[in-house]
Amino acid sequence: MAKLIRRELQIKNPVEVSEPVAEPEDEMDDEHIDRKVPPKIMRLTQHLHNMIYIRFFYEQIGQQPPEWTKRELTRAEKSLVDELEREEGQGGAFHKWSRR
């Protein structure tokens, strides 16, 4: 019967606190996402994401999504685009950030 030999990991440097992947470009990068994105745009984006997930669920089980989901996806996308255009037209946070 063969004898099992346990091997030790050969780690020269112990694990240390990781460094950030990227350095923040300015003070705006240090802010939380809720302060960067206006609440209405955040809600519209979450709703659109939920509708995409519902459509994906139907497609995963091999069924066509109901018509109401398709209509709501179209409406949600149009509302989000309109709100983003309004935000940019008013010189909001996205306008400042996208012009860099």
Specify the pLDDT at position 35.
Answer: 75
CA quadruple 36, 100, 30, 24: dihedral positive or negative?
positive
Which residues form the domain of 66?
A: 32-98
Asked if residues 83 and 44 have their Cβ atoms less than 8 Å apart, the reply is: yes
Q: How many structural domains does the chain have?
A: 1
Q: Per the domain annotation, does 70 fall within a domain? A: yes
| 88 within 8 A of 94, measured Cβ to Cβ | yes
DSSP 21: S
Per-residue pLDDT tens over the stretch 26-70: 555 556 777 778 889 999 999 999 999 999 999 999 999 999 999
Look at residue 79 and tell me if it is in a domain: yes
Is residue 22, in this structure, part of any structural domain at all?
no
Does residue 83 lie within any of the structural domains?
yes
Question: Which pLDDT does position 24 carry in this prediction?
Answer: 55
CA separation for the pair 76, 49 (Å, rounded): 10
End-to-end CA distance of the chain: 69
Q: Is residue 13 part of a domain?
A: no
